[in-house]
Structure 1
Amino acid sequence: MRELKILAVVVFFTLLTYFLVEPYAHSQMHKHVDSEGFTYNDLPALTKKGDATRGQELIINGGCAGCHSIEAAGMPAPMDGVMAAQSYGVNPPDLSNAGAIYEAKFLSDLIKNPAHALKVEHKFDAASGKMHPMVPFYGMGGDIDQEVADMVAYLQSIAVKPEEVTPAMAFEDACGRCHAVGYENWTQLGTKPRFKHEKDSLAFDIKLLEYQDSLKAYMGKLPPDLSMYYRSRNEHFLSTFIENPQNHLAGTAMPRVGVTADAAEKVIEYLADSADTKRHEREAIGKNVMIFMVIFAIFALLWKKQVWRDLH
């Protein structure tokens, strides 16, 4: 009888924890956030049709090329990543494929009002004198909406087709200047090469530490290594966090990156591959095992019929 009472108490508290305490704790610590569909409805839509030729002139003369590289157009970075981070807090991205990875209206608002597009106005408030390191585009004397539309059209014209963007390209462009992925040998300065001499490896590490120091000062702390984030979080969390970090962590220094829904899927695919480097190999082996089992079952059935036919 005593044992039954103990069992009843254990069962009661187990059910209480499972059905009441755990769901409540989960809802408080990991609230559910609905996806916004990567539509960025808080940003104004482009109302002008852009002219890529005019946009090229504006990109070059409007100051973009003074901070950003555009390798697709033969424009190298004006300074290396370490110096750029010391100047701006983080290395400005290459714009070659920005038109394929980022939503058009995000790019438009980013050009005109970086802090608003990135949702970091709580951190960079012009009224308090703390400006975002990316200088807003105030126009070249004409219709600013038309000029911005031209610049976006140019970025789209030089980019690869959206379907040609690989998971690595999407991640490196949108996330890779702040986050490392140790399992992929990715650092904030790019993939760490295999050096022949240790001194060269140490020289790279010193540059990386200098970059990370600038990034810490800019972000408040060093952004985490994302090697295992696909396994420690679920896919919905990652998607909605990429879409709008403020929905999960109000006041976070992480900016909204403004990627398209397709680019976000590719970022998550990259994270999935980094968290499980044998994922595709294992899936292929699983298919081969199932094929073997089917073939083996067929031969076993035929053999069984042959044996029983001889016995009868």
Structure 2
Amino acid sequence: MKKLIVMLFALLPSLAMAAGPAVPLDAANNDLSDKASLQNGARTFMNYCFGCHATQYQRYERVATDLGIPAELMKENLIFDPNAKIGDLMTNAIPTEYAAASFGAPAPDLTMVARVRGADWIYTYLRSFYADPSRPFGVNNVVFPSVGMPHVLEELQGVPSKVYETRLVDGKEVQEFVGIEADGSGELNKEEYDAVVRDLVNFLAYSAEPMKLERQRMGYWVMGFIVVFFVLTLLLKKEYWRDVH
């Protein structure tokens, strides 16, 4: 028992580091029933993320069916590998060794990232890049410090920078970080960029659990069956015990 307690205390620092910095997360407010949002998210993912990150545990055909995308449109606009078929798994062509050499670590598969990190974390993360010339790709991230990933959505957002406000603390002026602000060079304004990120997060949330809505619908039927079965059982019990009483 004493050894177990010692091991737990030894693990506390590593667990704290794994938890990451205590950054307040913004609500993604994703809606898996919004097909238009999911379609836009799939388009953004395939155009900006799929070059490095795969979702190798789902298939093009399943995504097209679930999101209401005709198979021909899927093949023409969202399948970039000329050798890939509509029924193939969604893997990309970047070699693991090349990705590790370029980014410091292999680019992780994102099929389950929304279940591992949470939709709010991803939404906040993608909106928390800021310019940092000291980093290899010229950007850093508030949620994930010393991030090895480039800001792939920069052409949409523009060049983001940290914003500080001067406040008095104990009579001294202190620069306090208040948020991220783009320079306006991107294709989208702040509201439009946030909407694109929300759609992308919505797609990743769908990828992590494609059956979630179906499971929830089935759950209502199951609960209804249990209620009806309980009532019938109660009535049957009263019928059996009527003669006893």
TM-score, with length taken from structure 2: 0.50
Residue segments in structure 1 that go unaligned for 5+ positions in a row = 1-9, 39-162
Residue segments in structure 2 that go unaligned for 5+ positions in a row = 28-33, 61-73, 130-140, 158-191
How many Å separate the matches in 1 of 2:35 and 2:219?
28
Instruction: Tell me the equivalent position of 1:177.
Output: 48
Contact 2:115 2:208 in 1 (8 A): yes
| C-alpha deviation, 1:164, in angstroms | 7.8
Instruction: Tell me the equivalent position of 1:25.
Output: 14
Aligned-residue CA RMSD (Å): 3.9
How many Å separate the matches in 2 of 1:21 and 1:262?
43
Contact 2:122 2:201 in 1 (8 A): yes
Which of these residues, 296, 299, 303, is aligned with residue 229 of structure 2?
A: 296
How many Å separate the matches in 2 of 1:236 and 1:21?
30
| C-alpha deviation, 1:260, in angstroms | 4.8
Aligned residue pairs total: 162
CA distance 1:277–1:253, shift in 2 (3 Å): closer
Instruction: Tell me the equivalent position of 1:166.
Output: 37
Q: Which has the higher strand share?
A: 2
Instruction: Tell me the equivalent position of 1:85.
Output: none
* 2:224 match: secondary structure: helix
* 1:183 match: secondary structure: strand
Matching of residue 192 in structure 1 with residue 76 in structure 2: no
How many Å separate the matches in 2 of 1:21 and 1:168?
46
Q: Which has the higher helix share?
A: 1
Matching of residue 282 in structure 1 with residue 224 in structure 2: no
* 2:236 match: secondary structure: helix
TM-score, with length taken from structure 1: 0.41
1:254-273 to 2 correspondence within 5 Å?
254-255=150-151, 257=153, 258=157, 260-261=193-194, 263-273=196-206
CA distance 1:190–1:273, shift in 2 (3 Å): same
| C-alpha deviation, 1:307, in angstroms | 2.0
How many Å separate the matches in 2 of 1:278 and 1:251?
32
1:1-312 to 2 correspondence within 5 Å?
10=1, 12-18=2-8, 20-35=9-24, 37=26, 165-173=36-44, 176-179=47-50, 180-185=54-59, 191-192=78-79, 209=93, 212=94, 220-221=102-103, 223-245=107-129, 246-247=141-142, 248-250=144-146, 252-255=148-151, 257=153, 258=157, 260-261=193-194, 263-312=196-245
